[in-house]
Structure 1
Amino acid sequence: MRVERLSRDKIRFFLSLDDLMDRGIEKEDMWRDIPKVHELFNDMMDQAYQELGFEISGPVAVEVFALPAQGMVVVVTRGRTPSPSDLDELDGDEMYELEVTLEESDQVIFQFNDFEDLVQAAKSLSALIREGGRVYAYRGQYFLVLDTEMELKTLQQGIAVLSEYGEASTITEHVLEEYGKTIWEKDGISGILHYFS
């Protein structure tokens, strides 16, 4: 489980499928109000406090984005800080209230430390997926964005191949478009194969 600060009142967690499995939680459980999910959220908030000094009380918005075959991204945004009189009225169990929204991502985004890793990933991926993909450079790394409109088996095999060369990214394509540099805005895989094979 990784956590990063997005702003003063917003943090983002990346939960891998292994993080969920270790706690006996299925992806579908995140949609349910069960003790295991509450325990996971409390563990996340403990980690956020220890690593970032991020404390919550009062209203909290939680956005959960399911990433195909990778895990989940959880964005936590804290609302207003309650006044001391508000705190007097709360029990210990009611220190925060949650507003949860859930979304399924239709993209897989992988990041690579250098361009050569991306080239090798594209070459290995070409047996499964020869077309599609968008490529960005951002903060000294390279990103491959794939839409998930393909057979699940092909998608899972593609993710396994990409994992050998890079790692799943929690950065959204909107951030890459806005702040990164677009290298291939379409057919990135075939572009890489054309120029670097």
Structure 2
Amino acid sequence: MKMEISDNRIISIFVPESELTERGYDQNNHEATLSLLNHLIDEALLFAESTQDFPAMDMPSRTEVAFIPSQGMYITITLLENQEETTDGEQTVILEQEDSLFVFPDFEDLTRCAAKMPERLRKSGKLYVYNATYVVILSKSDFSMEDDYQLVASIVAEYATRQVDTTSVVVNTYGKVLFEKEAFLEIARLFPC
């Protein structure tokens, strides 16, 4: 595990895929992945606090995680100045594939999600009806920056459930397309909250 501390506020961690495998990482076991992730974050915070006088345990923080196949896991922990900087109900979402699927049980959740999303990030998402639910497919290729992709996924995760049992190929084949592209932009335009 490689770790870098900058501005006494941000910890950047990289865990190569070989080390993740040694630690028991299994991308198909979400519960085990979260447990490993929590362990890695605790390990980094304790190390930073004991060696760098890093006040990690006393302050709120935001954690962002990205797994890149054949490379490893990138984790960024940012200490926040105060509680107001945190977003209520914010979740960490681990995105591993080029496409990530999110299931919305209700269209109203989609409209609220689109309304909450920053306007510059709404030009993303494909929307389908599949198995009596609404499925949004987020593609990394829709974003010029990895951070934007992670931010959109975190917002979407507040309103939807990450779908790991179904692939985008299945949804493309058997689902009905509602918006081929820029789904959040179209939803916000057509159904303003």
Report what 1:146 is aligned to.
138
Report what 1:70 is aligned to.
94
- Give the CA deviation at 1:126: 3.7
Asked if residue 112 in structure 1 is aligned to residue 121 in structure 2, the reply is no
Taking structure 1 as reference, are residues 120 and 147 closer, same or farther at Cα in structure 2, changes over 3 Å only?
Answer: same
Residue identity opposite 1:193 in structure 2: A
Asked if residue 137 in structure 1 is aligned to residue 133 in structure 2, the reply is no
**Count of aligned pairs between the two proteins:** 119
Identity of paired residues, percent? Answer: 24
Q: Check whether the contact 2:105–2:134 (CA below 8 A) recurs between aligned residues.
A: yes
Report what 2:13 is aligned to.
none
Report what 2:34 is aligned to.
18
Mapped to 2, the partners of 1:19 and 1:130 lie a distance apart of 32
Mapped to 2, the partners of 1:19 and 1:138 lie a distance apart of 31
Mapped to 2, the partners of 1:70 and 1:169 lie a distance apart of 12
SS at the partner of 2:119?
A: coil
Taking structure 1 as reference, are residues 194 and 127 closer, same or farther at Cα in structure 2, changes over 3 Å only?
Answer: closer
Provide Cα deviations, 1:37-78, integer angstroms capped at 9, x if missing partner: xxxxxxxxxxxxxxxxxxxxxxxxxxxxxxxx525xxxxxxx
Mapped to 1, the partners of 2:175 and 2:122 lie a distance apart of 24
Q: Check whether the contact 2:66–2:94 (CA below 8 A) recurs between aligned residues.
A: no
**TM-score, normalised via structure 2 length:** 0.51
Q: Check whether the contact 2:113–2:159 (CA below 8 A) recurs between aligned residues.
A: yes
Q: As a proportion of its length, which structure holds more strand?
A: 1
Q: Check whether the contact 1:128–1:158 (CA below 8 A) recurs between aligned residues.
A: no
Report what 1:158 is aligned to.
152
Which piece of structure 1 moves more, 119-128 or 178-187? 119-128
Consecutive aligned runs of 4 or more in structure 1 exceeding 3 Å deviation: none
Report what 2:175 is aligned to.
180
Task: Flag the structure with larger Rg.
Answer: 1
Residue identity opposite 2:136 in structure 1: L
User: Structure 2: any 5+ residue segments left out of the alignment?
Assistant: 1-26, 41-64, 72-92
Q: Check whether the contact 2:122–2:183 (CA below 8 A) recurs between aligned residues.
A: no
Q: Check whether the contact 1:136–1:176 (CA below 8 A) recurs between aligned residues.
A: yes
**TM-score, normalised via structure 1 length:** 0.50
Mapped to 2, the partners of 1:167 and 1:137 lie a distance apart of 15
Taking structure 1 as reference, are residues 132 and 174 closer, same or farther at Cα in structure 2, changes over 3 Å only?
Answer: same
